[in-house]
Amino acid sequence: MHPRDQTIFALSSGRAPSAIAVVRVSGLQAGLVLTTLAGKLPAPRQASRRLLRDSAGQPIDDAVVLWFPGPGSATGEDIAEFHVHGGRAVLAALLASISIVPNTRGAEPGEFTRRAFENGKLDLTEAEGLDDLIHADTDRQRRQALRQLQGLLGDRARDWRERIIEASALIEAGIDFSDEGDVPAELRAPAMKAIKSLREEISEVLAAQGHSERLRDGLVVAIAGEPNVGKSTLINQLSRREVAIVSPYAGTTRDVIEVQLDLDGYPVTVIDTAGIRETDDPVEQEGVRRARARAEDADLVLWLVEGGRAVDPDARPPLLTSGGSVWIVRNKIDLNEGGGAAPAGGFAISASRGDGIPELVEALVKFAADFFGTTEGALVTRARQRHLLRQASDSLRRSLELVEEGEELAAEELRAAAYALGRLLGRVDVEDVLGAIFQKFCIGK
């Protein structure tokens, strides 16, 4: 039997031990599994309390079971659910009893959701939204993922694809009636009007997104500077816990330390790097190399300097050559008489005492808001989606340019645009991306 035809099962709730655990079964044998363990099928979509028994008739647990006959289920197949007490022994006995039913096997990561996709219960953009929702760490990530799961992009893409097909039908009808005088021109005009409108809509979506797809991964902020300027103290202050060793000795931080922060709903990864300086120590040299690499790749670099040191605000920090955003942050102002003035366009703080930290955090939140743009109505949340929308938009543009040279060329570009949107929805030729998407899901989802 092909693996896709086998009945799958998995623990769909958290790890044991827990108060309640949910085990899901999906496939042709789901009904047999339920009757084997619970005696008979309950009424569809109604919870029923049953004593579960193994193949030897021994009790497993006093449980609640549910029955969802396909196609009216989450996966489009027959589904059985067992809500049992979440002890390890209970789950081991239940999963062992399910596994001996013929043609059943443990589910692979994301296999329940993949079957829902393959059975038309959700499109690929909604599946990606579900994945993002599972992995959301901040409230803004959660809201964006939920909009995607509810079909915000998928519904628009389906509408665009249908309108492209309608325009293509008009163009091709004109080809069929090419010998009927002015008939092709009469059919071409409404088609061209529809194509122009479609391209404008897709272009507006692409132009308005900013970095919305980056919200999934978050903003990367690197704390860099020469040794012993307070980088580790600052990351401890921002994370409100000790994640880095603080020492008065230069070169204490040898590797890159990362902390995940939630700043007003924006996911931010803050990186504490080794002090950047010229050194003969091979271990410290490797730390400096890694620090430079991470700082070069960061979206924003906080370059820390000593409180009393003169700073040229227009000069790039030493050993940093990328064109990314850099903020000069004057630290240890509490150790200087009269404090320390913030450099032009920079900040003055005391990482050890907390002076200036609220202002720095507020500025980071504003930077994140400007970087991500308006995400509340964002349609595009992944690079894959943006790439396919650009393909569709480019094909629509070419169809408008080529229509005077021949309707056949314009019709071919319209087919390419419809094909790109079909890939976006996962309805045509997406086998190459399905594995990469669904293997990131947890087992049981």
Q: Tell me if 370 is assigned to a ligand binding site.
A: no
For the chain, domain boundaries: 7-123, 126-213+382-426, 218-372
Lowest mean pLDDT among 194-203, 311-320, 349-358, 363-372: 311-320
pLDDT at 237: 84
CA–CA separation, 386 and 372 (whole Å): 15
Q: Tell me if 410 is assigned to a ligand binding site.
A: no
The CATH number assigned to the domain with range 218-372 reads 3.40.50.300
Topology classification of domain 126-213+382-426: Four Helix Bundle (Hemerythrin (Met), subunit A) (1.20.120)
pLDDT for 260-289, tens place per residue? Answer: 888 888 888 888 775 554 555 565 556 666
Specify the long-range contacts of residues 175-181, CB closer than 8 Å, at least 24 apart: 175/407, 175/408, 175/411, 178/407
Residue 250 has pLDDT above 80, yes or no: no
Residue 336 has pLDDT above 60, yes or no: yes
Q: Tell me if 275 is assigned to a ligand binding site.
A: yes
Q: Tell me if 251 is assigned to a ligand binding site.
A: yes
CA–CA separation, 188 and 173 (whole Å): 9
Q: Tell me if 81 is assigned to a ligand binding site.
A: yes
Q: Tell me if 440 is assigned to a ligand binding site.
A: no
Q: Tell me if 212 is assigned to a ligand binding site.
A: no
Q: Tell me if 14 is assigned to a ligand binding site.
A: no
Q: Tell me if 321 is assigned to a ligand binding site.
A: no
Strands 18-26 and 7-11: antiparallel
For the chain, give me the number of helices (H) and strands (E)? 13, 12
pLDDT classification of 248: cutoffs 50, 70, 90: very low
How does the average pLDDT of the chain come out, rounded? 81
Domains 7-123 and 126-213+382-426 share a fold: no
Q: What percent of the chain lies above the pLDDT cut of 90? A: 34
CA-based nearest residue to 262, from 378, 373, 136, 383: 136
Q: State the architecture of 7-123 in CATH terms.
A: 2-Layer Sandwich (3.30)
Plot region of 325 (φ>0 → left; ψ -120 to 50 → alpha; else → beta) = beta
pLDDT at 251: 45
Q: Which two tokens stand for residue 441?
A: 């899901």
Q: Tell me if 40 is assigned to a ligand binding site.
A: no
Token pair 């013929």 is found at: 102
